[in-house]
């Protein structure tokens, strides 16, 4: 299994309970084929540029271990989740 870091930017209109629900959803999804090491909720931040007519977003950072083939499924779920404006998954070097 490889180590990964994933950052997602959630629409600022989503309330705290919604952010927590998304965090649990993706933690569960990652834990199916890997192991979440930590989740960092960075809160609302100003964006460098406007995304979908929003100037702020809520940032969540996931640090986890997973099999390389499970990353495609994670990214697919990110894409179809309406609350997520942007995401990135990066493999961390050991």
Residue from 34, 40, 33 nearest 6 by CA = 40
| Per-residue pLDDT tens over the stretch 28-77 | 999 988 899 999 999 899 999 998 889 999 999 999 999 888 899 999 99
Give pLDDT, residue 46: 94
What residues does each domain of the chain span?
2-7+14-52+66-86
CA 69 to chain CA centroid, nearest Å:
17
Name the pTM for this structure. 0.88
Per the CB < 8 A criterion, the answer to whether 90 and 72 are in contact is no
Q: Which helix (H) or strand (E) element contains residue 36?
A: strand 34-51
Integer Cα distance of 13 and 16 in angstroms:
10
């Amino acid at each position: 299994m490889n180590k990964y870091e994933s950052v997602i930017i959630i629409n600022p209109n989503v309330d705290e309970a919604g952010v927590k629900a998304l965090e649990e959803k993706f933690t569960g999804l990652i834990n199916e084929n890997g192991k979440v090491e930590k989740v960092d909720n960075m809160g609302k931040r100003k964006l460098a540029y406007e995304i979908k007519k929003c100037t702020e977003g809520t940032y969540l950072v996931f640090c986890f271990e997973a099999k390389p083939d499970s990353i495609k499924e994670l990214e697919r779920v990110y894409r179809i989740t309406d609350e997520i404006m942007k995401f990135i998954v990066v493999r961390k070097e050991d």
